[in-house]
Structure 1
Amino acid sequence: MKKFLKIAAIVLAAAFVIIQFIRPDFTNPPVNQAETLEASTQVPENVEAILTNSCKDCHSYESQYPWYSKIQPSAWFLAHHIEEGRQQMNLSVWNTYETKRKRRKLSEICEQVELHEMPLPSYLWIHRSAKLSDEQIEILCNWTRQESDKLAQAQ
């Protein structure tokens, strides 16, 4: 039994080393400033700070990759979350969205932060500073409602 455990430990250690060479691509695509949220929407400094600290790592092409992005399999998990986040809403291509989609996304931002679904709890384990206070949630929701109203009036 001891021999089996020793062989199993060696195999697991070797597998862990080997998977370190299978890395996801963490290159951020270039940002076209004309397509960003800020290009079409007035974003106050306090809202921009919230978005940068709590949203843009997964919902833009401005992701900042932490130390654990260099360790497999956590890097694969991270790459998948970022890909999903960008598919759901990407602030770097916001200006390419139809008005209806922008309004829906603004509503979803408020809804998800109020329900504490965003930022993801798994993200908050390591990024504690990304956790939104009640005041930040209120600021973000007030802003999303104002922007949605502006879009509705412009139609």
Structure 2
Amino acid sequence: MKKSILKKIVAAIVLLLIIIQFFGTEKNSSIVASENAITRHYSVPPKVQGLLKTSCYDCHSNNTTYPWYNNVQPVKWWLASHVTEGKKHLNFDEFNTYPAKKKLHKLEEVVETINRDEMPLNSYTLIHGNAKLSDADKKEIEAWVNTVKKEIQ
């Protein structure tokens, strides 16, 4: 009897996993670059732009480069949640919509979170090893942030 119940439970789980594959999420991809993107209003050196694209933009812009496993539920929901949360905190493609005070605060948070190794997330760098920021990368971003903050002030 126990084997029968176990088989039913496994069958129900498999069926549930198959069914949820048909429920998608909206992808975070924009065809046209936003007029409010930070790169359209502030100078971003190529090195810093590369670091931001590699380490930040998947969750903090209007364009995410999705890995193959994004086609599998529940991973798709999990990734969509990360992107939504990331954009809620900071969206580099909508940066110029922020008031000056918020821009300054967000830039301070960029420096704080990278220096505390809170960003990029460990769950992200686990799979995207090239997104890890070295101490030199962090200093480069911090110097750029300080330049932008002076422009805003």
What is the rounded CA distance, in whole Å, between the counterparts of 1:101 and 1:32 in structure 2? 22
Q: String of CA shifts for 1:103-148, please: whole Å, max 9, x gaps.
A: 1111110000000000111111211111111110111111111211
Aligned to 2:23: 22
Gap regions ≥5 residues in structure 1? none
Aligned to 1:132: 133
Gap regions ≥5 residues in structure 2? none
Aligned to 1:45: 46
- Say whether the 8 Å CA contact 1:30–1:61 is kept in structure 2: no
User: TM-score normalized by structure 1?
Assistant: 0.93
Equivalenced residues, count: 152
Q: Secondary structure at the match of 1:125?
A: helix
What is the rounded CA distance, in whole Å, between the counterparts of 1:144 and 1:31 in structure 2? 25
- Say whether the 8 Å CA contact 1:110–1:141 is kept in structure 2: yes
What is the rounded CA distance, in whole Å, between the counterparts of 1:98 and 1:31 in structure 2? 23
Aligned to 1:54: 55
Aligned to 2:80: 79
Which deviates more, 8-17 or 31-40? 31-40
User: TM-score normalized by structure 2?
Assistant: 0.94
Q: String of CA shifts for 1:79-112, please: whole Å, max 9, x gaps.
A: 0110111111111111111111111111110000
Task: Report the RMSD for the aligned CA atoms in angstroms.
Answer: 1.2
Deviation at 1:33, TM superposition (A): 3.7
Deviation at 1:31, TM superposition (A): 4.0
Deviation at 1:27, TM superposition (A): 4.5
Aligned to 2:112: 111
What is the rounded CA distance, in whole Å, between the counterparts of 2:58 and 2:108 in structure 1? 20
Structure 1 vs Structure 2: percent identity of aligned residues? Answer: 36
What is the rounded CA distance, in whole Å, between the counterparts of 1:38 and 1:29 in structure 2? 16
